[in-house]
């Protein structure tokens, strides 16, 4: 079975109300540089085109993880 993946564009909403819309993985790496969506210190929301939460890990401009977030059951 093929794993479903996030769909672009990706919307990032920051606590201060700023919203970024990114159209590809390259933009995610360039704009987030060093980022882990699981880091509790960062207060933002990242969703795909279908408003599904996504997991993102970026290190040194490289997107290492880009997948749908698995909700705990």
- Going through 1-73 in order, the beta strands assigned E by DSSP cover 10-14, 19-22, 35-36, 44-47, 54-59, 62-68
The pLDDT tens digits of the residues spanning 9-33 come to 999 998 899 999 999 999 999 999 9
How is residue 2 annotated by DSSP? Answer: P
Tokens encoding 47: 């969703």
Helices and strands of the chain, counted as H and E runs: 1, 6
In this prediction, residue 43 carries a pLDDT of 80
Separation of alpha carbons 10 and 12, rounded Å: 7
Which range is least confidently modeled, 11-15, 38-42, 65-69?
A: 38-42
In this prediction, residue 51 carries a pLDDT of 97
- Give start and end residues of each alpha helix (H) in 1-73: 25-32
In this prediction, residue 40 carries a pLDDT of 77
pLDDT band at 41 (very low <50, low <70, confident <90, very high): confident
């Amino acid at each position: 079975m093929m794993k479903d993946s996030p769909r672009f564009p990706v919307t990032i909403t920051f606590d201060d109300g700023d919203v970024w819309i990114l159209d590809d993985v390259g933009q995610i790496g360039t704009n987030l540089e060093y980022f882990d969506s699981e880091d509790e210190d960062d207060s933002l929301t990242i969703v795909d085109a279908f408003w599904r939460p996504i997991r993102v890990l970026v290190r040194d401009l490289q997107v290492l993880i880009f997948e749908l977030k698995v909700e705990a059951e």
